[in-house]
Amino acid sequence: MPEERGGPARLRTILLTAAAMLAFAANSLLCRLALQHGSIDPASFSSIRLVSGALMLAVIVRLRSGPAPSAAADWLAAAMLFAYVAFFSFAYLSLSAGSGALILFGAVQLTMFSAGLRAGERFGPMAWTGFVLAVAGLFYLVSPGIAAPPPLGAGLMAIAGIAWGVYSLRGRGVADPLAATASNFARAAPVALLLSLLFASRMHADAHGAALAIASGAITSGIGYVIWYAALPGLSAMRAATVQLSVPPIAAFGGALLLSEAISLRLALASGAILGGIALVLIGKARKAGPQRTA
């Protein structure tokens, strides 16, 4: 997408982008905060998050000005959205906010890069170096050791990342991404309610846990996506991908400040390898594609 020119327009894009990244990182913090002390069970958190997100997005789509094309039903996208939210919630029973966000983000990007390779996209030497570095960093993070995240939680979060990567790929080129997201939330919410019924014997939620789930669904997911879509017209595709590198560090430092979570040496080294590797892939792809066009 073309980048906006001019001081006010550029400042608007910067502020919107920063707000969106804070919202995305806050999803990890809200979920971990809700589950850390047992304020809510993960199935209920997933259900409330998707239902409140669906309601918020439906209201926003209905209130926005101008005609909008109706979103075609995409049940695979809805299924991937549900899988992401559900596995994300169960993973945070045992993961810290920072390690969870890093595994999620790494799995998302590696899924999308792998899909590009399968579709015939060619990586140059720099991009391949970054890809290998990111994979190595992810394996190092989850490899056995005292500071390693719990294997079950890491595996669940990796599945959540793969699901979100597939969901993102399904959303490429849709005419109205906001309407499509609202439609997918509306279809995923009933499935999440069925999940809650399956775990009815473990269902519990106090006011604090329910409020955090609503905030994650309605604010940091629903409104967060609206803010992100508002920022995207001012960002090139390269910059839109690159700014998302900020989400795991924000979640890690937020976890340290708000949840008293430690930032281990393993997490710091793995973060450098994964995020640095992904940055190299993005730079390598951009150079191979040539300069970005601007408005």
Across the chain, mean pLDDT equals: 85
% the chain with pLDDT above 90: 40
In whole angstroms, give the CA distance from residue 155 to residue 140. 14
Residues in the chain: 295
**pLDDT computed for residue 68 by the predictor:** 58
**pLDDT computed for residue 81 by the predictor:** 95
What value does the mean pLDDT take over residues 51-62?
94
Q: Of 287, 240, 283, 170, which is closest to residue 2 (Cα–Cα)?
A: 240
What value does the mean pLDDT take over residues 29-36?
94
pLDDT: which is higher, 233 or 237: 233
Cα Rg of the chain, angstroms = 19
pLDDT: which is higher, 295 or 267: 267
Q: Of 61, 60, 24, 142, which is closest to residue 94 (Cα–Cα)?
A: 142
Indicate the pTM of the whole model.
0.83
